[in-house]
Chains A and B, each alone.
Chain A
Amino acid sequence: MNNTISFALLHLAFCFTLVSFTPISALELHGTGANMVETTCQKTPFYNLCVSALKSDPRSSGANVAGLAQIGTDKLKAKATATLRQITALLKVAKDPKLKMALRDCADYYNAIVKYDIPVAVEAVTKGDPKFGVEGATDAANEADACGRGFKNEPKFPIYASNKVVHDLSAVVASIVQLLL
């Protein structure tokens, strides 16, 4: 009887310790995930954009820097593709010849971003030679810049917001990939 009681108490104590430790370690894991995003984003030029872009992807919790770089590049690709579609749609209805020319230039820049700059960045990160990824992402930022410059003398810049996001996100991805060097 005594043995049983002591055994039961021991068992209970063991269970209790186990139970109490688990939520803490689980919290820590989640905590680390969130911290990784924040500490990484602090090293980029656009912190808020970086955090919101990465966190919107569930893979970001528990991801390492390489994983975050891949998530960032995926987001960039989605944004750039969407902006390209926007530009194509605008081209169909635009009447002003100067506006059309600026839009056509942007379409070409965005083609380069989606077809070349981003795939290079993805390949560089996955295959393990990140410096080419920095180049690809930086080039994407430059293309977005160039697109913006085409509207310098235009009264309206219809894709201003999305272009800015693509530019800033490219800069963010470039800094994250730079951390892999």
Chain B
Amino acid sequence: MVDTKPLLPASNSDGSYLTGSRVNSLKPIKVYLTIFCGLLAVGLFAALLIGNYWSDNARIHGSLASSTSKRTYPLRPVSRGPAQGVSEKTSGIWAGVSRGPAQGVSEKTSRVRAGVPRNILPEPLNSTMLEWQRTAFHFQPEKNWMNDPNGPLFYNGWYHFFYQYNPNGAVWGDIVWGHAVSKDLINWFHLPFAMVADQWYDKNGVWTGSATILPDGKIVMLYTGSTTEAVQVQNLAFPANYSDPFLIDWVKYHGNPVLVPPPGIYKKDFRDPTTAWLTSEGKWRITIGSKRDKTGISLVYDTKDFINYEMLEGELHAVSGTGMWECVDFFPVSKTEGKGLDTSINGPEVKHVVKVSLDDDRHDYYALGTYYEKNGSWIPDLPEIDVGIGIRYDYGIFYASKTFYDQNKNRRVLWGWIGEGDSEAADMEKGWASLQSIPRTILFDNKTGTNLLQWPVEEIESLRLNGTEFEKVAVKAGSVVPLDVGPGSQLDIIAEFEIDKEALKKATGSNITFSCQTGGGAAKSGALGPFGILVLADESLSEQTPLYFYIAKDSDGDLKTFFCTDLSRSSKAPNVDKQIFGSYVPVLKEENLSLRVLVDHSIVESFAQGGRSVITSRIYPTEAINGASKVFLFNNATETCVTASVKIWQMDSAFIRPYSDDDDDKDDDDRKSSAPCFLLCPINYIVSCVTCLYFIYHVSKFS
């Protein structure tokens, strides 16, 4: 009888003895084998965990965040001017691309011989003009692309500035956090990258973030990471070593991300967390911009530890039709005192500002209003100039701006990213792109009650060299007056304009609404404008950048003043931005028209009425460069004479260069320690398991 169920235990007594003995002799081996395998599995798993823990420690002691393979800039000081030569990157999407040095006159011929594309700039741009474009006292890295300012703060005697940076090219991409420190917001030391894209939660980009300084002096950095799946999440980082005044190394929290897009929010519409402020319950509150369809919104979160968050119902604010809100900023301003306020301050003497960067039009808008802490909401004072549809920080090129409270001098300071107005090809050619504005103090304009006043930080005045004063210069209708101050590429200009009061009364009104953009530029005459200053202008005025006021009188006799910049004749080169920028600026009855201008090669920052309206522009002249660049007063109005008082200083260059320290080598040693253990642990474990089992086997044999 064949055993039809062979797998069942043997039931007949004949087979059982045999099976039993075979089972008995097999049993110990099988048991040992199972135990061995089990122990091995556990051992390997433990080894993996231990290995991970050790490599984590190495990161804290060393600087994995700034690993040598990613550090690309030279540690030697470089004088003002483009980088001396670019070593080719072997990684990233710009691998194998030669950009070459942007220097010297014989560049064209030498590059042709080298077999690389020659100067691709259209006539008449050449490398001298490109070299001139690099600024003397505006913050910029030595080369390549920069965009948003990140996490500005003052700590332990140093101002810190971080920024979006592409280590591999002069266009956006491969973004990491650049880092620099300064004592005075003007002269800077470049430091190693603070953070690179080395985790799954920021692999596709270490994007914008903000710093919060806690009462005990600790610093919390919240930033947006674009994950390997391109989902936008918020991550936490903090300094590795508080006793390092330069705060070179940063640690990313091991439990990142701390915030992911909530339900109902698209995974690519959730970025740029703000500095946190305290609520009366003692919790920290942040806001993060987003959108629902085309309505820009800002979400609010409360946290006690910056690790666990509760999202508030509703939003800080929402404005339909504005699109995605990037780089949201939220801060208090004092209505009565002329100083800045810590982000957590609240009270009756305070107004709150909401600022947004609109993805759709690349402009920064702000509005003043009231903050309601109970439900974390904010209502604008004037909904018709709500955030995103009202006043802009700057009517020129200025985006992704961010403020911080400078506890060193009790002021609120604004940073803004100034992009290029030329082509990407030109940026490639010169090897760099983008600047930061000179940091500006922010104050509530209590004269108008609707505006903020921006003004370059006073430290910029330390760069003033010799000044020339021009008192009460009469500029007749339709005339141009040269102001002889020497070379005009690095200047600080303060000007005041007086209009003939009679002319104001007599001038004919018109029912055509004026705007800078449609007003025809500086060449189109009106009764009471345009008049102002020409900068970066050559002797023959073939190239000129007018910064001007235009007083429009409507049919009712009301006067409205506009402040504009006209780039239409700023350069003979094609492929550069030639728009007209500007807007209405409130002017009170007793006020004269005032203007401050910082000219720094290819950037011009102009401030009207004490900073009530600001325009930043990028200028790329072909003639009005170096010694040929001059300043003029002009008056293109037909019915009024203008009296101008001007003071102009030549400006020295700032030093903005890498910190020349040799102690960056110590990082390498720490990282080596983790590797051998990871390999040895499982081997050790297997050997000990085998010996153990052998011992047990022999012991059992004896017993």
Query: B-contacting residues of A (Cβ < 8 Å)?
Result: 104-105, 107-109, 111-112, 115-117, 119-120, 123-124, 126-129, 131-132, 135-136, 139, 142-143, 146, 149, 180-181
Contacts and interface: CB of A to CB of B under 8 A. Distances in A.
Contacts of B119: 108
B93 interface: yes
Given A126-B204, A126-B230, A128-B268, A142 B575 contact: yes
B362 A131 contact: yes
A136 B117 CA distance: 20
B423 A143 contact: yes
A135 B147 CA distance: 13
Given A116-B94, A128-B232, A128-B268, 19 more contacts: A105-B122, A107-B117, A108-B117, A111-B117, A112-B428, A116-B428, A119-B173, A127-B204, A127-B205, A128-B205, A128-B267, A129-B172, A129-B205, A135-B172, A136-B424, A139-B423, A146-B122, A181-B324, A181-B360
Provide the main secondary structure of the chain B interface.
loop
A146 B120 CA distance: 10
Contacts of A119: 93-94, 173
A105 B226 CA distance: 38
B118, B172, B268, B575: most-surrounded residue (chain A CB, <10 A): B172
Q: Which 5 A-B residue pairings sit nearest by Cβ, starting from the closest?
A: A108-B120, A128-B268, A132-B172, A127-B204, A139-B424
A79 B173 CA distance: 23
A120 B173 contact: yes
A109 B171 contact: no
A136 B204 CA distance: 18
A63 to B, nearest CB: 16
Interface of B: 93-94, 97, 117-120, 122, 169, 171-174, 204-205, 207, 226, 230-232, 267-268, 323-324, 359-360, 362, 423-425, 428, 574-575
15 contacts: A108-B425, A111-B120, A112-B425, A127-B205, A128-B205, A129-B207, A132-B171, A132-B172, A132-B173, A135-B424, A139-B424, A143-B423, A146-B575, A149-B122, A149-B574
A112 B232 contact: no
A155 B250 CA distance: 61
Contact of A116 (B122, B169, B575): B169
Contacts of A112: 120, 424-425, 428
Contact of B120 (A105, A123, A127, A131): A105
B638 to A, nearest CB: 37
A128 B119 CA distance: 33
Contacts of A181: 323-324, 359-360
A127 B204 CA distance: 6
A95 to B, nearest CB: 19
B58 to A, nearest CB: 29
Nearest to A124: B172
Contacts of B117: 107-108, 111
Q: Which of A108, A126, A128 has most chain B Cβ within 10 Å?
A: A128
B601 to A, nearest CB: 23
